[in-house]
Structure 1
Amino acid sequence: MNYLTQMDAARKSIFTEEMKVVSEKEHIEIEKLRKLIAEGKVVIPANKNHNSLSAEGIGEGLRTKINVNLGISKDCANVDMELEKVKTALQMKAEAIMDLSSYGKTEEFRKKLIEMSPAMIGTVPIYDAVGFYDKELKDITAEEFLRVVEKQAQDGVDFMTIHAGINRETAEVFKRNNRVMNIVSRGGSLLYAWMELNNKENPFYEYFDKVLEICAKYDVTISLGDACRPGCIKDSTDPSQIKELITLGELTKRAWEQNVQVMIEGPGHMALNEIKSNMIIEKRLCHGAPFYVLGPIVTDIAPGYDHITSAIGGAIAAANGADFLCYVTPAEHLRLPNLDDMKEGIIASKIAAHAADIAKNVPGAREWDNKMAEARQKLDWKATFELSIDPEKAIGYRKESTPENPDTCTMCGKMCAVRNMNKVMSGKNVNILRDDD
């Protein structure tokens, strides 16, 4: 192998096996794909040690991808239960899984996840550090944080959230500008606390070159974390968020100089009318790097329904330039999601991503809808179910309420517009009150 990373290969005009896979999946010419990777506008997160990976591309001109967050915590440390969620997420064709484990047998879970998953695997190293060293946050050293990054890279993680933008300078901006929700990013809050407790610079910012060295060695894509993402719509697009974004743009250039692939993480909670401008600002300040958003959640009043509030924001964000959606479940802000919550979150995010792909004219996106329209016009229920984003649910609804006439449903019965138009258009009589001739 005469290249370090996918970006390095692209800049050397080398077509990697991963590029070939993505080119075929996305129906994009491989030379065009190579140029986008070389420019940093597309990433292929593909750790050299992730042997089960089926490569995916994230970025300009490609399908909007979705990520599923999983992992064990102190309150829910059942590894087997999380692995069942992994299997279901893979069956539902999620393109990425982030292991957010923060307690217990994190390494055991991570290694099993990487071994079994053709999907991209992401992590947040700072989550793992406290449990890994069995030390309080304040007592973990900068070198120890970096060793966790190296360990996860060795294990085969494809992308890592690194909160390098919350440096001392960004922290001062945060202190001067009051927020309702302060810092809601778990990783961001831990690093802010570490800096305050030790009166030191963020180690991921201070030793960013070392982080890049590790990432280049294993071809780990850096997902530059948004520590200052807004946690309520009142805090959105404020000085802290924008100051961090400026810093992330500077770090992006430094990473590209070392041929390290980069994604940028974004908001958060945000009103509908701010989403489009935020997508434009991110792409501008971060030089066209792929944008990875959580939501955005467009209203704060719907606990238990945040898979919907985030899908609304995600569709608008992706239609206006976001490339990667982090799913949100109905359990967001309330508890660790169970299997059913996860399914709801995946479907909501997939709907948002696909709706955005139609708006962006992504190759092949409309074909799926066109096939569904044809199936519905023909009242072909089998094809309708096969084309459904969630066939199981569609079939279940149909079985719960069986119509008198199999070519209709119990909503309209023989008054079905599709049925009657088909009859009239073919020169047949329309019988509603009596049996057909």
Structure 2
Amino acid sequence: MNFTTQMDAARKGIVTREMEIVAKSENMDVQELRALVAEGKVAIPANKNHKSLVPQGVGQGLKTKINVNLGISKDCDDIDKEMEKVKVALDMKAEAIMDLSNYGKTAKFREKLVEMSTAMIGTVPMYDVVGFYDKELKDISVDEFFKVVEKHAQDGVDFVTIHAGLNRETINTFKRNKRITNIVSRGGSLLFAWMELNQRENPFYEYFDRLLDICEKYDLTLSLGDACRPGSIADATDASQIKELMVLGELTKRAWERNVQVIIEGPGHMAINEIEANMLLQKRLCHGAPFYVLGPLVTDVAPGYDHITSAIGGAIAASYGADFLCYVTPAEHLRLPNLDDMKEGIVAVKIAAHAADIAKGIKGASQWDNEMSRARQELNWEKMFTLALDEEKPRKYRKESTPHHEDSCTMCGKMCSMRNMNKILSGKDINLLREDD
């Protein structure tokens, strides 16, 4: 039986190779997974032209996935440096990489990325439009917008961020409700500018079926972007954000009618006490579609540490239903991240994702923690390092400060609770002063 997309196959009762791989990696019955894909509650972004892909599922009942942003810009256009980041991100087991390139040889970088990446690849075609045509934004035609989307699809990217919910109604809502930080989405702000300069409707909203044609042809997952995501905690959960979210819910239904897989993108910056309600609202308004969040960053005052503000919000968001977390690095708001920034961002977001998986009761999530706890009780340092989310840093810390007694560390020494409890419970004596033990 023929099928066009993963959702089409699922609705026809077909279990695809991609579904089998995802079900096995998630310890889930494949028919249960197929049913979730058919409903749109799980997406398996897998472009037909991405041959190196190891498929991943995003959505209800699955492990929380993480995304790493990479790409070349006008100020930093070294493809080799970005490819080095790609290799490290894959080694660190990122499930997705978004190529946010906006200058220079973007097609060359994208093609190399798709060729080597086992992780799913996402892009924001809007970033590529100006450089692709070497034309000012105002002069880009509707046809040219769609040609860039199709080029990305042909190149094999698995999902594209399209800000189709920023229609004229959303813009009018934005204009009536003032914000501190206006529109902080890069793609959303460019699209807003094009609409205002040309006094036109959003082409991706006006010709949404044309977008779906491309997605259906390549099995390209549509990541409906949040142009009006809050860029400060003061702007969170406001009229603009919710208005756009309502439009995204309507577009989700239209996409599903065409068997096109959908992911919804979300905030942004947001106070901790608003996160739970936002996750529940998104799932309700967007019919249970997978939710992809940037952060949310829970305070605006920590530049240089926004991987931490983001991890706090991400852990809470995912525990209440977000399915996909975009990493944030210490360089957020400041510069293009370097390799070390990227590593710190990946570790932070992986901590958030795993913490949420424990809270959500994902199969096997807490087992990892239990193994680490047993290794600590046994004072088995090598096993602790092997189990660690980031093996490099704990090894480095241990090496930098060697204890006198191998079964302790330089903080507690012979007062180590694990060491002494093990001795007492096994019937042995302990001493804290003598040097013979």
Separation in 2 of the partners of 1:128 and 1:311?
Answer: 29
Aligned counterparts, 1:166-185, within 5 A: 166-185=166-185
Partner of 1:254: 254
Q: Aligned residue for 1:310? A: 310
Aligned to 1:10: 10
Q: Secondary structure at the match of 1:343?
A: helix
CA distance in 2, matches of 1:428, 1:248: 65
Q: Distance in 2 between matches of 1:372 and 1:432?
A: 27
Letter in 2 for 1:27: N
Q: Does 1:319 align with 2:319?
A: yes
- 1:121-160 superposed matches below 5 A: 121-160=121-160
Indicate yes or no: 2:50 matched with 1:50. yes
In 1, Cα distance between equivalents of 2:167 and 2:77: 32
**Counterpart AA for 1:317:** A
Give the 3-state SS of the residue equivalent to 1:264 in structure 2.
strand
For 2:407, what is the secondary structure of its paired residue? coil
List per-residue Cα deviations over 1:178-217 (Å, max 9, x = no partner).
0000000000000000000000001111111010010010
2:264 is paired with a residue whose SS is: strand
Identical amino acids, percent of aligned pairs: 73
2:243 alignment counterpart: 243
How far the C-alpha of 1:434 sits from its partner, in A, is 1.0
Q: What residue identity is the alignment partner of 2:62?
A: L
Q: Does 1:356 align with 2:361?
A: no
C-alpha separation between the residues in 2 aligned to 1:5 and 1:410?
57
Q: Which amino acid aligns with 1:192?
A: F
Partner amino acid, structure 2, of 1:271: A
Q: Deviations over 1:371-392 (max 9, x none)?
A: 0011100000010000000000
Aligned to 1:342: 342
Q: Which runs of 5+ in 1 are unaligned?
A: none
Partner of 1:366: 366
Distance of 1:221 and 1:424 partners within structure 2: 58
Distance 1:119 1:434 in 2: 55
One-letter code of the match for 1:175? K
Please state whether the residue corresponding to 2:408 is helix, strand or coil.
Answer: coil
Query: Aligned-pair distance for 1:436?
Result: 4.3
Report the counterpart of residue 82 of structure 1 in structure 2.
82
For residues 103-118 of structure 1, what are the structure 2 equivalents within 5 Å? Answer: 103-118=103-118
Paired residues for 1:262-301 under 5 Å = 262-301=262-301
CA RMSD of aligned residues (A): 0.6
Equivalent residue letter for 1:54: V
Q: Secondary structure at the match of 1:292?
A: strand
Amino acid paired to 2:136: E
Q: CA deviation at 1:431?
A: 1.6
Residues 320-368 of structure 1: CA deviation (Å, up to 9, x unaligned): 0000000000000000000000000000000000000000000010010
In 2, Cα distance between the equivalents of 1:203 and 1:364? 44
Residue in 1 that maps onto 2:410: 410
Give the equivalent residue in structure 2 for 1:95. Answer: 95
CA distance in 1, matches of 2:431, 2:2: 72
* Distance in 2 (alpha carbons) for counterparts of 1:112 and 1:407: 48
Q: Distance in 2 between matches of 1:218 and 1:407?
A: 56
Aligned-partner residue type, residue 157 of structure 1: V
Mapped pair 1:399 → 2:411: no
Unaligned runs of 5+ in 2: none
Q: Distance in 1 between matches of 2:206 and 2:96?
A: 29
2: CA distance, partners of 1:217 / 1:433? 74
How far off is 1:277 after superposition? 0.1
Question: How many angstroms does 1:429 deviate by?
Answer: 0.4
Q: Offset of 1:283 from its aligned partner?
A: 0.1
Per the alignment, residue 206 of structure 1 pairs with: 206
Matches of 1:355 and 1:154, distance apart in 2: 37
Report the counterpart of residue 28 of structure 1 in structure 2.
Answer: 28
Count matched residues.
Answer: 437
**Post-superposition shift, 1:44?**
0.3
3-state secondary structure, aligned to 2:253? helix
After superposition, the C-alpha distances for 1:139-185 in whole angstroms (9 at most, x for unaligned) are: 00011000000000000000000000001110000000000000000
Helix, strand or coil at the partner of 2:260 = coil
| C-alpha distance in 1 between matches for 2:90 and 2:290 | 23
- Give the CA deviation at 1:432: 1.4
Work out the CA distance in 2 between the residues paired with 1:122 and 1:396: 34
Residue aligning to 2:220: 220
| Structure-1 residue corresponding to 2:64 | 64
Amino acid at match of 2:251: L
Matched with 1:426 is 426
Deviation at 1:435, TM superposition (A): 3.0
Distance 1:28 1:54 in 2: 17
TM-score, normalization: structure 2? 1.00
- 1:233-287: CA deviation from partner (whole Å, max 9, x where unpaired): 0000000000000000000000000000000000000000000000000000000
Q: CA shift at 1:54, angstroms?
A: 0.2
SS at match of 2:263: strand
